[in-house]
Chains A and B, each alone.
Chain A
């Protein structure tokens, strides 16, 4: 029974971090689907969410909700500036140039954050206390519930946006065929800008809601970003259920591995899964048929 309790505990906390990976994966997919770019600075948006919220609370004395809104807005502006200054000037860019540019941006953002706020890890207070809730022999923190709730809201919101609004449909049109979209009057450039804005917002929100659990610092973005990418790959770079499942599976496996094998190898587990999927099913775990040879 002891083991069973432990396992369920690992799975539950793993699912919560997995939900975060799913959100980050979603933010990868939003950009990828309208531009074909993998944004290596995605993790930095996540980091910015957490760091800016803490800054707003501590230095500007804003209440939590206002601080979160300010942080998400701030990150969104950075996403917008990034697209304008670094992505747009590069016409007919090769994937190689885009990889290098987005890596450059991630280093730059990390460096600026480090200079402004230092290298210390900081914690955000939990949104509604730390009293554990007992569920099926395992304990659950209120923050876990916040994570699940926000994740579900964002995913439903994205679904509605991409399938039921004109802008969302226009963005999907760009992802299928930019030239055709342009012909029917969609401004592809604007849609690319939009996708960076939405993606920055979703990413930073993920960073905000995980900050009370894992603490945050200038350099947490790399790992979070990579695991989000892993979730997105598992879901086949789609923006739907696949990514969510991918994130949850990844979170649960990682947590089980850390608990039962060794916490030091926690991050290695995620990358072994990433490599296996890239080698065996690069089209994703849940997608049928081969859409594009990577």
Chain B
């Protein structure tokens, strides 16, 4: 337990200091989106990595959060913080309601059903032109502010988004080591066995689905206030698949793996910018190769690789 706290403390320090050497360059802007994606990946990982329930419609909750906050603040002049809370709760309630029929399904069927929810939401963002601006997007969303302090630069947004991310990470770390988290992992391994042991699997699955929708909606709110402009393309099937790729690469069932995956996959298109459309091919190959050869993701795969390469160290690691 002590090493966990130390790990989190070191991580906080890294997050705090990371933008300093960049001095407000373009990379700070990228790191803001790494933060948003980290929150999203974390939400999906709780559902998929820990409870073993796949969702290909995570972008729907992200989009509902973004559009909810965007519309309430730009058209109805809500206070952004109030809007964020209201929208996150509303999205969570929606997820709770659809969670019961959706999570009765398993495996491929669950994947298809969540995918369906995602596609329907995306079509709704495109078609409700009066509300969302349709394909041309919604603009004029205000920045978040505390009193007269407005989050209007990349650096301020960085600390805003990562502040939220750190809270979520802390919450997730506590959650996965709790009774609830152990229940989730039991469901992942064998739902039948979990039920026999007295885990209320159906309710727990819906609860974690709701929680991951809530987290995604918060990420959506942050995203819309950081961007001040949103359009339906950010909340489509591709976004859901990107999130899936992040946690598969980082590590299913690992909190820090979600962050690592979000970091790598958000930076990748920036690095590959010279190749433009190659990133989609890299995503596809990564998904296949990682699933076959490194099913635990980088977080578990790389140490395992080292252990295999340096057998002596493995013994020391096992004793420690």
Contact = CB atoms under 8 A, between A and B. Distances in A.
Interface stretch (B11-19, B262-270, B279-287): B279-287
Interface string B101-122: 1101111110111011101100
B124 interface: yes
Interface string A250-283: 0000000000001011011001101100110010
Contact of A104 (B115, B277, B291): B291
Given A90-B292, A294-B106, A294-B109, A268 B281 contact: no
A209 interface: no
A81 to B, nearest CB: 12
Contacts of A38: 108, 111-112
B133 interface: no
A111 B284 contact: yes
Contacts of B278: 111, 115
B123 interface: yes
Interface residues of A, number: 42
Interface string A105-116: 111111110110
Nearest to A275: B116
A95 interface: yes
A222 interface: yes
Contact of B112 (A222, A229, A265): A229
A171 to B, nearest CB: 20
A38 B109 CA distance: 9
B119 A107 contact: no
Contact of A96 (B107, B237, B286, B288): B107
Contact of A294 (B54, B105, B277, B291): B105
Contacts of B227: none
Nearest to B286: A104
Interface string B233-257: 0000100010010001000000000
B117 A101 contact: no
Nearest to B116: A271
B108 A86 contact: no
B295 interface: yes
Given A95-B108, A111-B284, A275 B291 contact: no
A94 to B, nearest CB: 8
A282 B101 CA distance: 11
Given A104-B285, A274-B116, A275-B117, A264 B101 contact: no
B121 to A, nearest CB: 9
Contact of B119 (A85, A109, A115, A226): A226
B288 A105 contact: yes
A114 to B, nearest CB: 6
Contacts of A278: 105, 109, 112-113, 116
A65 interface: no
Contacts of B124: 268
Contacts of A85: 288
Nearest to B252: A96
B126 interface: yes
A267 B288 contact: no
B52 interface: yes
Given A222-B237, A267-B123, A268-B119, A107 B113 contact: no
A112 B278 CA distance: 9
A86 B288 CA distance: 7
Given A104-B291, A111-B281, A271-B116, A95 B107 contact: yes
Given A101-B287, A114-B277, 10 more contacts: A96-B54, A99-B108, A104-B283, A104-B288, A107-B241, A107-B280, A226-B115, A264-B123, A279-B104, A282-B105
Interface of A: 37-38, 40, 85-86, 89-90, 95-97, 99-101, 103-112, 114-115, 222, 226, 229, 233, 262, 264-265, 267-268, 271-272, 274-275, 278-279, 282, 294
Complex A-B, nearest 5 residue pairs according to Cβ-Cβ distance, in ascending order: A104-B287, A108-B284, A107-B284, A95-B107, A111-B280
17 contacts: A38-B112, A96-B52, A97-B291, A99-B108, A103-B241, A103-B287, A104-B283, A104-B291, A111-B280, A222-B237, A229-B112, A262-B127, A268-B120, A271-B119, A271-B120, A274-B113, A294-B105
